[in-house]
A and B are shown apart, each in its own frame.
Chain A
Amino acid sequence: MSSQFDPFCLFAFGPFVSGAMLWWGAVIAVPIALHLLLRRRRQTVSWPAMMLLQAVVRRRTRRVQLWQWLLLLARVAAVLLLAAALANPVLRSAMPATAAVDRTQVFVLDASYSMRTDQGGGRSRFDVAVQRSVQACRDAPPGTQFLVLLMQDPPQAVVSQRTADRDAVIAELEGLRCSFAGAPAADTLALLDRWCTAIEDDAPLAVTFFTDAQRRTWQPIVDGATRAGSADNDSARAVSARGSWQSLLEQVQQVDIVDVTAGEAAGESNRTLAELEALADDRVGVAARAAASASPTTLEVHVDQQTVYSGRLEWNQQGTARTEIPLLPAVETTVVRAELSEDVLGVDNRRYLVRQPPRPLRAVCVGRPEATRFLATALSAGSESAYDVSQRSAADLPQLDAQPIDLLMLCDVARISPGAAEAIASIARRGAAVVWWLGPAAEPDGYQHDPSVVPFRLREAAPAAWYPVDPLGYQHSIAASFAPYPQSGLLSTPVFRFWRIDALDPEPNMTGRQTALALGSDAAPWVLTWQRSQQRTVAITSAPTSPQLDDSNGSDVAEGPWNALVAWPSLVPLVQEIAAWATAPRRSTPSLLVGQRFASDLFAGRPLPARVLAPEQVTSVPRLFAEPASAADARAGGAELQAWTSSPVLQPGVYTLQWPEHPSQQVAVNVDPREGHLERVAAADLSRLEVDNAAAPSQPAVDGAAEETRGGWFRALLTAALACLVAESLISRFALRWQA
């Protein structure tokens, strides 16, 4: 589709198919000019008997002027009617449902769950979006064809075939429901791009977004161009979104972004329940987020519908709150539900967790004994320990693949061999936590493996100095446990050296990478975490070793210890908190975010379930289906069992998957807490995204029915123009002459 303006091609304008012909209306300037010219071609005389003349004029002029105006009116009307006839008008009432392509209007409604925010009076942002889209549909000029797309995860094509039946489109719009997922812009724009490409004719294309302009949705588009050089995953998405946006702009004539929050009163801020996880068999961790100025809220925790905790949740300066709720160890599978008190957006105030009965987690510490012994000891210390800890050398790593492992601790391993890397990848695929302790023995080139195995690169060891520990505001769950005791010395561990690393993303859909603890004034990562859906990875850039006890590395002895962890009281709690966070998914059944799918990867060793039981309030039950053989091979690595998956889970809750030969399994499905962070993109940025190319497309083809309708109007207007010309002739020939 060309975006260059062609002044000679006809374009639809209002009810006119050939709007360019309206330019002929300018011909009315001719009779008007003649009228004025004739008035100018007059003689001017000085006349003494003006009194007499004025008396005469008073008697006669009114009638003569009336006829002159009628004459001018007839001439102008004749020209205008002629121009209108040539412009091929189509009136809405006469527009058939299968009218020709004049203009394609795409309505994109943001259905991310932030659109469920109550605007007051029980009306949500999504209700406003629907209302305004319906109005825009009604106001669209005749001949417009519509497409409707829901911007959610995954995007949903509501009206995927162009239609001019606006009643049907309105019915579809009014039947839309807001999702419980986010709205990744890149996916929506990619679908839009495909739609635009598929439209083969040259009809002008306009896209209107109805959105609450959340930063999470729109910032990637705004930032895409400026952050193109960055290598992190968000930037990659931003570049992708921006690229899709540019592609969209090249193909469409007009892009409008309708902010449905315009005029929304600033009310109570939203609170989001961000995390609910089983940190141990007898406690769950709860994290919540709100605006810094938010008032305390009430947290309730229910286990199998029974309230086991109710208390106030206080927010820190960063607007976050974390707490741990002690629970009795589960005897059997239990459903834990945490709820915050209601606010403007209720969807993100609730999270589910399915706890499994306690079982000892198998932890394997791999490395030299001098490195593993402290960690193994710390891991099994105290009553908190729920680990069955074993210590293995790095050479044993390839053999660990076949063993059931919940936590793999790699303690200052010098090099990762290819066999060891394969074993680590296999262990991680099964959901085991992987913790990398990086110490003086690590060799940077020994860690050059695929990011899915080693999600970082060792850059250089920081020079020896005292690097204070920065808890980064106790934002991370690992650090949060230390927050009540800032002066206790638990996080004041002396660190003298550490590895500077470059963090990578193991996979494109990584849900989170976060630095839990940092070192030094430049906040270099000390404890860095990666979280995939059911697997967690932690890297600690300064491992606990003792130079006095380490006789294998002379250089280390010469350079002194990297930290004082082994002598510091924070070793045990730190190791245990890291292990607790890393293995939290292992204490519960697999959980999903809305928009994700049940898949065989989550339920290793189980075939396609017989069915899925959805919670009572859920209206959309995911469909299960076996994956094609090729995809299954790729995913299952040639396993005997056929891989399976499901349609995206669209609503939160606890679902039950049933197998004939296996016990049923409950799965918690929660909303993505990031969508609950109600922060709008800057209005200026949003308005900069809007585009009006104002390109005039070529004359669209018309089908027979529309041609016939337009032909009727053409003839009617032409007849009226001729009638005006006849009237003009009569007036000028008879009326004015008779008056004269």
Chain B
Amino acid sequence: MIGAVLAIAGAELRIGIRNRWVLLSALILLAFALVLAFVGAAPTGAVKASPLTITVASLATLSVYLVPLIALLLSFDAIAGEVDRGTLQLALASPVSRSAIIVGKFLGHLIVVSIAIALGYGVAGALVVTLAGGGSAGLVDLGRLIATSIGLGAAFLAIGYVASASVRQTGTAAALAVGIWLAAVVLYDLGLLGALVADSEGTFAKSVFPWLLAANPADAFRLYNMAALDTGTAATGLSGLGEALPFPPIVGLASLCGWIVLALGAAALVFRRLEP
């Protein structure tokens, strides 16, 4: 069982490296990170935080947009595309459970995403430290950002598999993936913002809104990272985010983990009903 999972993961990793997925996503992350670090950090002026911490704060926002996109692009094709092209039939005929196939693909894709994030953000962080100074301060923040970005990628990989297993055509799966990205990353926030404007002092803003934020994996990721940065420095510009929440920031992390487990389970369930 473990052997089969690792074999599938290994194959996915190999494919990710050979079709330049790893390289391309790392380069995209690095390019955006460098723009944010060197152009976006200019107006911070005399903030007491280290340059690296400030960069990490802007990278967290970058992650919210880019990492789900990269993860969904990797996963939308995983099942629908392979059924479409006929490459999945042999695996389905072999004595491996469908859950093992999903977990194997997840592991392989997760390694692809992890390499891309670690490479992109790692190189950007190293450049910031070398060029802007500030020493090793903020390294913990960068490490936390990389680790949680990988978690964010994992959640959207799993969500992408649910989409991929529920439709028969790659094209439909792609459209679904784009829809999911738009809804989770853009529309959800817009909706919350609208509701907040309509009722800025009521019970919604105080007790419902934070929980709704934590319920979306992308927002949960942002919440946790900003709150963690906030406890040490004033890098985010949001005053006392940690105190304003009705729950500890770790809930954001828990939400992310919950999404990974739930979506993977849902993907396995939907996949089990697929008739190739």
A pairs with B: no
Chain B residues close to A by CB (< 8 Å):
none
Chain A residues within CB distance 8 Å of chain B: none
